[in-house]
Amino acid sequence: MYAQMVDTGLKKVVDATEATPEERAFQARVDADVKVEPKDWMPEAYRRTLVRQIQQHAHSEIVGMLPEGNWVTRAPSLKRKAILMAKIQDEGGHGLYLYSAAETLGVSRDDLIDDLHAGRSKYSSIFNYPTLNWADIGAIGWLVDGAAIMNQIPLCRCSYGPYARAMVRICKEESFHQRQGYDIMLAMCRGTPEQKAMAQDSLDRWWWPSLMMFGPSDAESVHSAQSMRWKIKLLSNDELRQRFVDQTVPQAEFLGLKVPDPELRWNDERGHYDVGTIDWKEFQEVLRGHGPCNRDRIRTRTKAWEDGEWVREAAVAHARKRAERAARAAA
Amino acid sequence: MTSEWPLWEVFIRSQHGLAHKHAGSLHAPDAEMAVRNARDVYTRRNEGVSIWVVRSSDVVASSPGDREALFDPAQSKVYRHPTFFPMPDEVKHI
């Protein structure tokens, strides 16, 4: 999940008896699955929460390019390199779709990017972990993109039209990401014992952070309850995490890899896997900026933005010059 | 900080001769760059054979408040649909 623990700014779920007539009419339309479009009236808290959520989601896409970029020059073959570059380009595209969706809510992209660089806005905890060996590129596609798909498929039905439409495009492309990741894992697990050990090492490091991506249990969260009423969150964190575990464990077994959780076992009664305890302290630390790569990620992002400034300026100057020349020629 | 590049709406014609369809929006300094960026952002997987870009500020849209006035009148005119006219089973090719 790319947007984690999104704050609604509310202390409690909006009660129908206290809601204004506009708010009630809005909720009735959401309940009837009518999409909310940019020019429609919407509660201010809905708008702000969506900006926060879509913004976090967009930031995660573009920060997610960085751990993968680390391996472009080190990919083991030209084929793998071309595939990796295509995936990274997709992530950039996903960021753009999402920033556009956020902009329909009356914010500017430059302000959103500024929020990211200044640390006012979060991105997914997962991208603060390093990519230490080539198998990590496989594990990211398989696990991280797999977890993202789990969250994004329901969001294709979310109440806000531009966000839902961006999600449809993104989901179509994500499944390439997940498959190419699993394909890397397959190749390594069918390779030499050293390659298989690299794949296992990678799973050992990415498993728990991947489960943390869904966020802590939100059964008691006011923000999640409100977001669910607004249909900008469709399933609970625990529900999504369970689905992810249930689908991923057999995939790990097929690879002949061991999921690094001694308490993991199939529960016949529930029809689901039981998992061990997640270290939420680690998650909170990473969110607070103390993960292995937080500072490095923001530094790299900021540098790319600042280094590109002259290009953005030059493009504007060129466009202005051409427009003036065309105006003079027409006069 | 430099001024932000203007926003453009992107329309893509897919194969098989369908009309251009709204794909999304993007920022670009001018029309030429908007087409190039649209190609990278919206047609990475053979989605299109032609691209239109329009400045977002040039789009004129109907207002949500006019929805009833604009669209409700069509609801009472069911005779505009072929299904309004039941045809006898014996009559073919119509």
Using a CB-CB cut-off of 8 Å, the residues of chain B touching A109 are: 4, 27
Query: B26, B37, B43, B60: which to substitute to probe chain A, counting the most A Cβ within 10 Å?
Result: B26
List beta partners, residue B51: B12
Contact A315 B41 (CB under 8 A): no
Contact A315 B33 (CB under 8 A): yes
* pLDDT given for residue A302 in this prediction: 97
Q: What is the pLDDT of residues A92-140, one digit of tens each?
A: 999 999 999 999 999 999 999 999 999 999 999 999 999 999 999 999 9
Out of B5, B24, B30, whose CB is closest to A322? B30
pLDDT over threshold 80, residue A5:
no
Query: A34, A316, A322, A325: which to substitute to probe chain B, counting the most B Cβ within 10 Å?
Result: A316
Chain B residues interacting with chain A (CB cutoff of 8 angstroms): 1-5, 7, 24-27, 29-30, 33, 40-41, 44-45, 61, 63-64
CA–centroid distance for B85 within its chain: 31
* pLDDT given for residue B50 in this prediction: 96
B87 found inside a domain: no
* pLDDT given for residue A3 in this prediction: 76
* pLDDT given for residue B41 in this prediction: 95
B49 found inside a domain: yes
**Count of domains observed in chain B:** 1
Q: In what order do the strands lie in the sheet with B7-13?
A: B21-27, B7-13, B50-55
Listed residue (A231, A230, A229) closest to A157, CA to CA:
A231
Residue of B nearest to A168 (CA): B23
B70 found inside a domain: no
Using a CB-CB cut-off of 8 Å, the residues of chain A touching B41 are: 93, 96-97
Residue of B nearest to A305 (CA): B1
**N-to-C CA span, chain A:** 55
pLDDT over threshold 80, residue A42:
yes
> In the A/B pair of chains, how many CB contacts fall below 8 A?
52
b (16+ CB within 10 A) / e for A247-275:
ebbebbeebebebebeebeeeeeeeebeb
Domain that holds residue B38: 1-58
B88 found inside a domain: no
What separation in angstroms does the CA of A116 have from each of A227, A274, A294?
22, 36, 12
B4 found inside a domain: yes
pLDDT over threshold 70, residue A1:
no
A8, A45 Cβ separation under 8 angstroms: yes
Listed residue (A129, A192, A107) closest to B4, CA to CA:
A107
* pLDDT given for residue B2 in this prediction: 56
Task: Tell me what the pLDDT averaged over chain B comes to.
Answer: 92
pLDDT over threshold 80, residue A14:
no
Using a CB-CB cut-off of 8 Å, the residues of chain A touching B14 are: none
* pLDDT given for residue A35 in this prediction: 96
What ipTM does the predicted assembly reach?
0.87
A86 touching B, CB under 8 A?
Answer: yes
B17 found inside a domain: yes
With cut-offs at 50, 70 and 90, classify the pLDDT of residue A17. Answer: confident
A14-18, B2-6, B25-29: least confidently modelled range: A14-18
Using a CB-CB cut-off of 8 Å, the residues of chain A touching B25 are: 100, 103
A97 touching B, CB under 8 A?
Answer: yes
Residue of A nearest to B64 (CA): A40
User: Looking at residues A154-174, what average pLDDT do you find?
Assistant: 95
With cut-offs at 50, 70 and 90, classify the pLDDT of residue A19. Answer: confident
Which CATH number characterizes residue B45's domain?
3.10.20.520
A43-47, A161-165, A220-224: least confidently modelled range: A220-224
* pLDDT given for residue A221 in this prediction: 87
B32 found inside a domain: yes
b (16+ CB within 10 A) / e for A4-33:
bbbebebeebbeeeeeeeebeebbebbeee
Contact B41 A93 (CB under 8 A): yes
pLDDT over threshold 80, residue A15:
no
A19, A31 Cβ separation under 8 angstroms: no
With cut-offs at 50, 70 and 90, classify the pLDDT of residue B3. Answer: confident
Q: Which of A213-222, A263-272, B39-48 has the highest mean pLDDT?
A: A263-272
Out of B2, B27, B30, whose CB is closest to A109? B27
B1 found inside a domain: yes
pLDDT over threshold 60, residue B1:
no
Rounded Cα gap, residues A91 and A97, in angstroms: 10
Q: For residue A253, what are the contacts with CB-CB under 8 A and spacing of at least 6?
A: none
Q: What is the pLDDT of residues A284-299, one digit of tens each?
A: 999 999 999 999 999 9
Using a CB-CB cut-off of 8 Å, the residues of chain B touching A322 are: 30
Local structure of B55: helix, strand or coil = strand
Task: State if pTM tops 0.90.
Answer: yes
Rounded Cα gap, residues A138 and A200, in angstroms: 11
Q: What is the pLDDT of residues A186-244, one digit of tens each?
A: 999 999 999 999 999 999 999 999 999 999 998 888 889 999 999 999 999 999 999 99
DSSP E strands: which ranges in A158-277? 265-267, 272-274
- Who wins on pLDDT, B22 or A10? B22
Q: For residue B52, what are the contacts with CB-CB under 8 A and spacing of at least 6?
A: B10, B11, B12, B13, B20
Residue with tokens 């298989």, as numbered in its chain? A196
Query: B7, B10, B22, B25: which to substitute to probe chain A, counting the most A Cβ within 10 Å?
Result: B25
Task: Tell me what the pLDDT averaged over chain A comes to.
Answer: 95
